[in-house]
Amino acid sequence: MKPLNAAQTIAIAQQFGTPVWTYDAATIRARIAQLKMFDTIRFAQKANSNIHILKLMREQGVKVDSVSLGEIERAIAAGFATGADADDIVFTADLLDRATLARVVELDIQVNCGSPQMLEQLGEAHPGHRVWLRVNPGFGHGHSQKTNTGGEQSKHGIWHEQIPEALALIEKYNLDLVGLHMHIGSGVDYSHLQEVCAAMVAQVKQSGRDIRAISAGGGLSIPYRLGGEAIDTAHYFNLWDAARNEIAAHLGHAVHLEIEPGRFLVAESGKLIAEVRAKKDVGNNHFVLVDAGFSDLMRPAMYGSYHEISLLRADGSEAGGETRPTVLAGPLCESGDVFTQEEGGVVTPRDLAAAEIGDFVVLHDTGAYGASMSSNYNTRPLIAEVLLDGEAIQQIRRRQTIAELLALEL
């Protein structure tokens, strides 16, 4: 079983009600420490954009990547600085909607441009603005095709063969090129890393331009399966450091190295706690139904993602030695509302402790792309989030009410 403080988990479920997210601050700090050798750690806040998590990041010297106007406003609410001297926030996208364009210009927030139109629109609005170029190097990789952000299938970044045109636009609008950025996907391994480092070096040399920084993007995976291998961050850094040094030697000055992880910093800190409310045997399948669904945790339904599952008795007693093949599912009116499934929607029963009504189920490693991907499907309010820091328990988001949901329409 993955590490779990059973007594605390039950107490939180009882105090705040289920379903509920919890995050452990110490785990987040430990992951930040593992990446300290990078000049800048820029948290991809799409993984978990709660303002209190962002504050924790800021207190640890981490900066932030925002991908929407909402994420920019969250970063500001968490205390990240804006203005011509600040580089706390980088806005990364493949397009600039009008409201975001106005705000990044107003606040002088660096923009990582993933399309030529972003350069044109920004250049028209504010010549001299600080920009990064997001390069699609022609290949990518992800834990799922849906999280692969490089190659011809991906809409992301400026195609590597079109970098000369992008540089011409930078010239035309006198934009200030900070650096080049490559993020080839979420869930990369070391072999892809070597390829992407080589592509970065080649791009900088071909561009013939001076830059101050490079960004390695994110993509670092975590061991979702019990006994899975954790990433060797020193090795990861060494590969990028070598690329950075080659670029620095070519340019004749030091080059700043950024990394932009989401999942790595927060996934393992998070748990989703739900309550068992029904059980049924359907043909050969034994279903256990809990009060959380894919409107809360979307990853299994969306990608067939695997999360370890633990079962706890509400009275704290041991949840039986016996296990049985179980399909764990939620309350939504869709057959895909199943936590134990593979990509393509194949329901895969798992050997789980025999569940009883009123037991608590814990879905592990849900601190990244959990709450941030939740929806109101089936008119279910967003659930509460709780931050654990040693003995301290802080509710960092209260549960949404149904009245709040209806208010937008009434």
Does residue 369 bind ligand LLP (CB under 6 A)? yes
Task: Name residues contacting ligand LLP, limited to 176-205 (CB under 6 A).
Answer: 183, 186
Of the listed pieces 115-123, 215-223, 230-238, 309-317, which binds ligand LLP according to CB under 6 A?
Answer: 215-223
Interface with ligand LLP in residues 137-166 (CB under 6 A): 147, 149
What's the gap between Cα 220 and its chain centre? 10
Using CB under 6 A, pick the residue from 137, 179, 218, 367 that binds ligand LLP: 218
Residue 154's nearest CA partner among 167, 136, 134, 166 is 136
Other CB atoms within a 10 A radius of the CB of residue 127 amount to: 12
**Cα–Cα distances in Å, from 204 out to 111, 197, 271, 328, 368?**
19, 11, 41, 49, 32
Cα 82 from Cα 109, distance rounded (Å): 6
CA atoms 398, 45, 122, 84: torsion sign: positive
Which residue in 23, 264, 294, 360 binds ligand LLP (CB under 6 A)?
A: 264
Annotated binding residue 262: yes
Question: Is residue 369 part of an annotated ligand binding site?
Answer: yes
Is residue 110 within the footprint of ligand LLP (CB under 6 A)? no
- Should residue 261 be labelled a site residue for ligand LLP when binding is judged by CB under 6 A? yes
Taking the least distance from each CB to ligand LLP, the nearer of 16 and 91 is: 91
Contacts of 78 (CB under 8 A, 6+ apart): 51, 52, 54, 55, 57, 58, 64
Q: Are strands 63-66 and 110-113 parallel, antiparallel or unpaired?
A: unpaired
Instruction: Write the single-letter amino acid at 72.
Output: I
Q: Which is nearer to ligand LLP, 221 or 326 (CB)?
A: 221
Containing 344, the helix (H) or strand (E) segment is none
Among 226, 282, 333, 410, the active-site one is: 333
Distance CA 73, CA 80 (A): 10
The answer to whether the annotation marks 219 as part of a ligand binding site is yes
Asked if 113 is an active-site residue, the reply is no
Q: By C-beta, is 181 or 355 nearer to ligand LLP? A: 181
Lay out the site mask for ligand LLP across 24-53 (x = CB under 6 A, - = otherwise).
--------------------x--x------
Residue 31: both structure tokens together: 């992951």
CB within 8 A of 345, min separation 6: which ones?
301, 304, 336
Question: Among residue numbers 304 through 363, which ones bind ligand LLP (CB under 6 A)?
Answer: none
Q: Which is nearer to ligand LLP, 65 or 359 (CB)?
A: 65
Residue closer to ligand LLP, measured from CB, 94 or 291: 94
Using CB under 6 A, list all residues that contact ligand LLP. 44, 47, 65, 92, 147, 149, 183, 186, 217-220, 260-264, 299, 368-369
Q: What is the set of active-site residues?
A: 333
Binding-site residue ranges for substrate? 263, 299, 303, 334, 369
Binding-site residue ranges for pyridoxal 5'-phosphate? 219, 260-263, 369
